[in-house]
Structure 1
Amino acid sequence: MTALTDLFTYQKDTEALGQIAGRLGWDQETMMPRGAADQRGEEMAAIESVLHARRTDPRIGDWLAAAEGESLSEVDAAQLRHIRRSFERASRVPADLASELARVTSVAQGHWAEARGKDDFASFAPVLARVVALRQQEGQALANGGDTYDALLEDYEPGATAVQLEAMFAEMRPRLVELRGKVLEKPAPAGLSGTFGEAEQMAFTAKLALAFGYDLSRGRIDMAVHPFSSGSGSDVRITTRTSATDPFNCFYSTIHEVGHACYEQNIDAGYALTPLGGGVSMGVHESQSRIYENQLGRSRAFTGWMFEEMKTAFGDIGVADADAFYAAVNRVQKDFIRTESDELQYNLHIMLRFDLERALISGDLPVADLESAWNTRFKADFGYDVPKASLGCLQDVHWSLGLFGYFATYSLGNVYAGCLSNALRADVPDLDTALAAGNTAPATTWLRDKVQRHGGLYEPREVITQACGAAPTAAPLLDYIEAKFSEIYGL
């Protein structure tokens, strides 16, 4: 057991350093002066060099070997599973490649934000090409002769493969496309009207965060170009953004990120600074953010409460009653932005990105041709032209960060959320009564107990299967979307 003690003590310091690296990333997106971008890139490269050296330290292999045959608790065995996976993967990646990836992706974020602001993909393309080349090298090293994209996907959803995701999308696409066609033939509900001040939006968004259980004594809400969540345990941070004419952009981005943040805050405190102290996968993480945002936050019951709260905060918002507000929240219309998309069309945005990024990583799609490929695919999938790059291939930060393999986990999270919602409503049949009063606790407590507290204790599909009593499938999500939008649009 001495080997285990030494290994876990060593790992705690590695986890702490990883949290520091994450805080640097948060600062870069929220507080850092833009002129510091190059220096921050060097800082990120330096800390990644330290982390890579720790993750590949030969002593880890010795400690793991010494632990073989020991009688282990469930928690200790799970920690060893994560450490072994990390050690084996990190050992395949050269140290200089890991450091260069950290430096280049740090600097690339600033280039992406600038290019997005100017709608100028051409200025960003050389930087993105460098990121893609580095991730191709990393994927090839990790794959060890296997599929490069699958090797990258493993970072975000252990055990998943592109072939499995293709099959999931093939099941989802026909029903979504057919339903969208029927919905778009109907008149769109009216949206909100008026101007909504930034300070007022941020005050209201804090109220929403608290309503969903976000602990602001261990968390923050700030603003960024692209909403995100970072941190774990006692230091979790989220960001949102505002629009003077579309407060839902701010409010539902916040609820979404609060889902991520509450997952991290509700993990068993005993797992802090261990491999179990964070969400087990991005798919499971996304299941929490999407069920908070959609099945709870966009439900008829909760939006009834939210309508009254918005009237109090903003006065006349341009809709007559709670039913009209519910329809406005769930309005389906032609759009471009994934993060602002309705539930019906959201997964179609993900399918586009999944196919394009696989082509980028395989080398079938040169970066220089990405904007054209995006626009062509978008026109084919959605039926209208992309007018500018900020509404197209520059809208998401992910590729500048090198997060290839990440996008598909959004749809996987939606699938998981559909399954969890069914199980939640079976266990809490009077849930809507609580939601109508702005009380999400019956739902968030159920999610905490069934999913969030476990952190990384179980494998991704295992935690969802245990929570739901059956293996996850796309059917519950598709049934939910079809029922919801058929009712709203009178189909």
Structure 2
Amino acid sequence: MQAFDELMAFQRETEALSQVAGRLGWDQETMMPRGAAEQRSDEMAAMETVLHARREAPQIGEWLAAIDAGALDAEKQAQLRHIRRAHERATKVPARLAAELARMISRAHVTWAEARADDDYAAFAPVLSDVIALRREEAQALAGDGDIYDALLDDYEPGAKGSDLDSMFGALRPRLVALREAVLDRPAPKGLTGTFDESGQMKLTRQVARAFGYDFKRGRVDKAVHPFSSGSGDDVRITTRTNALDPFGCLYSTIHEVGHASYEQNINPGYRMTPLGRGVSMGVHESQSRIFENQIGRSRAFTGWLYARMRDTFGDFGIADEDAFYAAVNEVKNGYIRTEADEVQYNLHVLLRFDLERALIRDALAVADLEAAWNDRFKADFGFAVDKPSDGVLQDVHWSAGLFGYFPTYSLGNVYAGCLNECLRAAVPDLDDRLAEGDTKPATDWLRENLQTHGGLYEPREVITKACGGKAPTEAPLLDYLEAKFGALYGV
């Protein structure tokens, strides 16, 4: 036990430093002056050098070898599983490469933001090539004789394989395409009219965040180009964005990020500053943000409550009643932006990115050809052409941040959310009555008790299976939910 206690004391310091590094990233997205970009890249690289050295420290291997894992309880064994995995991955990646990646990603983010604002993919392409080269080098170090894309995917969804996701996504695509075509062939619901001032949006977004249980004593809401959640435990921050013509972008981005943040805030406090004290994977994380945003936040019951708050905040915006508002919230329409996509089409946006990034990492697609490949695939999948890079290849932050392997976890999270929603509804049969009053507590309590509190205790698929009473996750509940919901909304 002495070796275990010494290892955990060392690990808690590593976790604390990792939180500090995350705060630097949050600041870069929200508060940092533009002129500080070069200095921030050096700061991020220095932090990554320190963290990498701790993760690959020889004494970790010595502690692990000295510990009799069979004498430990399940919780302590789970701690060792995470520490051992991180240590093995860190020892395969040279410290020089880890620092260079951190430095390049910090610079790439600034270049991406400027290129996106200027609609200039050519300005971003060279730095993207550098990021991909470094990530490919990292993947090769990690993969050995295995698939290099799977080595990156494992960072975000431990144990997942690209081939398995191909099969799952292949099962999703036909029914999604058929539903999309049927729905878009029907008359569109009436949309919102007028403008929606930023102060009103931000006031309402905080009210909605509280309704979903977000603890402002341990968090805050700021604005960013690309909404995100950051931190864990007692410091979990979210961001959103506003558009004077589209308040739904602000409100539902907030609900989405509150799903992520609630997961982190609700993990067992005893796990804080340990490997179990954060979400177990990005797919499981995304299941929380998507079930908050869609199955709960876009339900007929909750939108009825939200309609009244919208009227109180903005007055008349052209929607006559709650049913019309529910239809407007769930409108299926052509659009370029993944984060603004409706539930029917969202996964088609993700599958596009999944296929393109796998090709980039495997060197089957050149960065110089990426914009054209994106535009061709988008036209084939959605039936209309991309109008500008900021609506296409430059819209997402992920590749500038080196997050290759991240995109498929969005659709995996949707699949998990479909499974959880099915089980939640069975467990809380009067849920809609409560949501109609703006009371999300029965849903958020069920998710906290059955999934969120466990943090990293279980493997990703295992925690979903346990929450669903032993049923392994499949794509069927998500597809059944979508077809039932939008079939009723559009009469198809």
**TM bucket by the smaller chain?**
over 0.9
Q: Which amino acid aligns with 2:486?
A: F
Write the deviation string for residues 424-465 of structure 1: whole angstroms up to 9, x where unpaired: 000000000000000000000000000000000000000000
Matching of residue 321 in structure 1 with residue 321 in structure 2: yes
Q: Which amino acid aligns with 2:237?
A: R
In structure 2, relative to structure 1, the CA distance for the partners of 1:363 and 1:296 (3 Å cut) is: same
Q: Which amino acid aligns with 1:479?
A: D
Residue 139 (structure 1) shift? 0.4
Partner of 2:101: 101
Is the Cα contact below 8 Å between 2:213 and 2:444 reproduced in 1? Answer: yes
Matching of residue 487 in structure 1 with residue 481 in structure 2: no
Partner of 1:475: 476
Q: Which amino acid aligns with 2:246?
A: D
- Any idea what SS the aligned residue of 2:336 has? coil
Could you list the runs of 5+ residues in structure 1 that have no partner in the other structure? none
Partner of 1:55: 55
Residue 74 (structure 1) shift? 1.3
Q: Which amino acid aligns with 1:36?
A: A
Q: Which amino acid aligns with 2:417?
A: A
Partner of 2:404: 404
Partner of 1:238: 238
CA distance in 1, matches of 2:325, 2:413: 26
CA distance in 2, matches of 1:309, 1:44: 42
Residue 69 (structure 1) shift? 4.7
CA distance in 2, matches of 1:335, 1:68: 56
CA distance in 2, matches of 1:440, 1:361: 41
Write the deviation string for residues 107-146 of structure 1: whole angstroms up to 9, x where unpaired: 1111000000010000000010000000000000010121
Partner of 1:89: 89
Residue 191 (structure 1) shift? 1.2
CA distance in 2, matches of 1:348, 1:147: 24
Matching of residue 42 in structure 1 with residue 39 in structure 2: no
CA distance in 2, matches of 1:208, 1:193: 21
Map 1:152-231 → 2, pairs under 5 A = 152-231=152-231
Map 1:14-413 → 2, pairs under 5 A = 14-413=14-413
Q: Number of paired residues?
A: 491
Q: Which amino acid aligns with 1:458?
A: Y
Q: Which amino acid aligns with 1:366?
A: A
Q: Which amino acid aligns with 1:471?
A: A
Residue 22 (structure 1) shift? 0.2
CA distance in 2, matches of 1:113, 1:190: 34
Residue 472 (structure 1) shift? 0.3
Question: Runs ≥4 in structure 1, deviation > 6 angstroms?
Answer: none
CA distance in 1, matches of 2:368, 2:221: 36
Is the Cα contact below 8 Å between 2:69 and 2:77 reproduced in 1? Answer: no
Map 1:410-421 → 2, pairs under 5 A = 410-421=410-421
- Any idea what SS the aligned residue of 2:231 has? strand
Write the deviation string for residues 59-99 of structure 1: whole angstroms up to 9, x where unpaired: 00010011135510111100000000000011100000000
Q: Which amino acid aligns with 1:360?
A: L
CA distance in 2, matches of 1:242, 1:67: 52
Partner of 1:428: 428
- Any idea what SS the aligned residue of 1:188 has? coil
CA distance in 1, matches of 2:378, 2:355: 12
% of aligned pairs identical? 69
Q: Which amino acid aligns with 1:486?
A: G
Residue 374 (structure 1) shift? 0.2
- Any idea what SS the aligned residue of 1:406 has? coil
- Any idea what SS the aligned residue of 2:156 has? coil
- Any idea what SS the aligned residue of 2:377 has? helix
Q: Which moved more, 1:124-133 or 1:62-71?
A: 62-71
TM-score, scaled relative to structure 2: 0.99
Is the Cα contact below 8 Å between 2:386 and 2:392 reproduced in 1? Answer: yes
Q: Which amino acid aligns with 1:214?
A: Y
CA distance in 1, matches of 2:98, 2:249: 35
Q: Which amino acid aligns with 1:275?
A: P
Q: Which amino acid aligns with 2:270?
A: G
In structure 2, relative to structure 1, the CA distance for the partners of 1:69 and 1:431 (3 Å cut) is: closer
CA distance in 1, matches of 2:464, 2:69: 29
CA distance in 2, matches of 1:9, 1:75: 16
Q: Which amino acid aligns with 1:81?
A: R
CA distance in 2, matches of 1:248, 1:74: 43
CA distance in 1, matches of 2:375, 2:358: 17
TM-score, scaled relative to structure 1: 1.00
CA distance in 1, matches of 2:308, 2:463: 37
Residue 50 (structure 1) shift? 0.3
Q: Which amino acid aligns with 2:108?
A: A
CA distance in 1, matches of 2:296, 2:365: 39
Write the deviation string for residues 183-212 of structure 1: whole angstroms up to 9, x where unpaired: 111111111111001111000000000000
Q: Which amino acid aligns with 1:326?
A: Y
CA distance in 2, matches of 1:148, 1:383: 32
- Any idea what SS the aligned residue of 2:220 has? strand
Q: Which amino acid aligns with 1:51?
A: L
- Any idea what SS the aligned residue of 1:230 has? strand
Is the Cα contact below 8 Å between 2:52 and 2:90 reproduced in 1? Answer: yes
CA distance in 2, matches of 1:265, 1:317: 35
